[in-house]
C-alpha cells in the first residue's frame, strides 16, 4: 500500500489522540486527501472563470453584433446544458472528435476546463447585469471630469459593479463548492469520489456524513469571506 504523505500521517495521529476509531480515522484521512483536490478545483475554477466571465461580458455587450451574438449563443449553450454533460464532452471529446488518446493525467485539467467555461457564462451574465444597472449619468459625469473610458470603467464603474454583484456571485461560488462533486463522473479523485469508494468498501454512511460536514465547513468559510467583502464595499451606497 502506498505510504501516506507526512501531513496525513500527522492527521491520523491527531485523530487517534481524539480517540477516533481506526475505521473513522481512515475515512477522515482518505476524504482529506480528496478534499485537497476539491479545494484545487474550487480555487482554479474561480481563478480562470471570473476573468473569463468579465471578458465574455465585455464581448457580449460589444457593439460589433456578430461577436455579441456569438457570446449570446455561448452563454445560452453553457447555461442550457448540464455541467456533467459539458464535463464528459471536454474529457471524451478529444478522443471521439480528433482520435487523441486520453490519459489519467488529463482528468484534472478536463475538470478545470469544463468548470471554468461553464461558470464563466454565469459570471458574464451577473457582471452584465451589474454594469447595465449603472446610470448613464455617471458615465457623463466622468466624461465631464476628463476621465478616459478605461479610467471611467476601472475607477468608477467597476467598484460599484463589484458591490452590486457580490450577492449573486456569492451564490455561484457556494454552488461551485458543491458542484465539484460532479468530477466523479470522470473518476477524478476529489472528495465525493473518495467518499463513494469508502462507503462501498465499509458499507457505511459515515464517509458521506464526513464529506457533508467538510462541504458545509467550506461553504461556511466561503459565505463568511464573501460577507466580509460586502461589508468592505458598503461605502458604495
HEC profile of the chain: CCCCCHHHHHHHHHHHHCCCCHHHHHHHHHHHHHHHHHHHHHHHHHHHHHHHHHHHHHHHCCCCHHHHHHHHHHHHHHHHCCHHHHHHHHHHHHHHHHCCCCCHHHHHHHHHHHHHHHHHHHHHHHHHHHHHCCCHHHHHHHHHCCCCHHHHHHHHHHHHHHHHHHHHHHHHHHHHHHHHHHHHHHCCCCHHHHHHHHHHHHCCCHHHHHHHHHHHHHHHHHHHHHHHHHHHHHHCC
What residue numbers bound the domain in which 174 lies? 6-235
Answer yes or no: is 1 within a domain: no
Instruction: Please report which confidence band the pLDDT of residue 2 belongs to, taking 50, 70 and 90 as the band edges.
Output: very low
For residue 20, the model assigns a pLDDT of 46
Query: What confidence category does residue 150 fall into, taking pLDDT thresholds of 50, 70 and 90?
Result: confident
Do the domain assignments include residue 86? yes
Q: Does some domain include residue 74?
A: yes
Domains contained in the chain, number? 1
| Residues 92-128: tens digit of each pLDDT | 998 888 888 888 889 999 999 999 999 999 999 999 9
**Which of 6-10, 183-187, 229-233 ranks highest by mean pLDDT?**
183-187
Answer yes or no: is 69 within a domain.
yes
Could you count the other beta carbons within 10 Å of the beta carbon of residue 164? 19
Q: What is the CATH number of the domain that holds 88?
A: 1.10.3720.10
pTM here is 0.84
Amino acid at each position: 500500500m502506498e505510504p501516506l504523505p507526512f501531513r496525513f500521517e500527522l492527521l491520523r495521529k491527531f485523530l487517534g489522540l481524539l480517540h477516533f476509531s481506526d475505521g473513522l480515522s481512515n475515512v477522515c484521512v482518505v476524504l482529506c486527501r480528496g478534499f485537497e483536490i476539491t479545494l484545487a478545483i474550487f480555487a482554479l475554477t474561480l481563478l480562470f472563470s471570473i476573468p473569463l466571465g468579465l471578458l465574455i461580458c465585455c464581448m457580449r455587450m460589444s457593439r460589433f453584433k456578430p461577436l455579441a451574438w456569438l457570446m449570446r449563443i455561448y452563454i445560452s449553450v453553457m447555461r442550457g446544458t448540464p455541467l456533467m454533460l459539458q464535463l464528459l464532452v471536454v474529457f471524451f471529446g478529444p478522443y471521439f472528435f480528433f482520435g487523441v488518446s486520453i490519459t489519467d493525467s488529463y482528468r484534472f485539467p478536463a475538470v478545470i476546463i469544463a468548470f471554468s467555461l461553464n461558470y464563466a457564462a454565469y459570471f458574464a451574465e451577473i457582471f452584465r447585469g451589474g454594469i447595465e444597472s449603472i446610470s448613464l449619468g455617471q458615465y457623463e459625469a466622468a466624461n465631464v471630469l476628463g476621465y478616459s473610458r478605461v479610467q471611467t470603467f476601472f475607477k468608477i464603474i467597476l467598484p460599484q459593479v463589484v458591490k452590486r454583484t457580490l450577492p449573486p456571485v456569492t451564490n455561484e461560488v457556494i454552488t461551485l463548492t458543491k458542484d465539484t462533486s460532479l468530477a466523479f463522473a470522470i473518476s477524478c479523485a476529489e472528495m465525493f469520489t473518495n467518499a463513494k469508494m469508502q462507503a462501498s468498501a465499509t458499507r457505511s454512511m459515515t464517509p458521506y456524513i464526513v464529506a457533508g460536514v467538510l462541504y458545509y465547513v467550506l461553504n461556511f468559510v466561503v459565505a463568511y469571506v464573501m460577507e466580509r467583502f460586502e461589508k468592505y464595499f458598503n461605502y458604495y451606497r
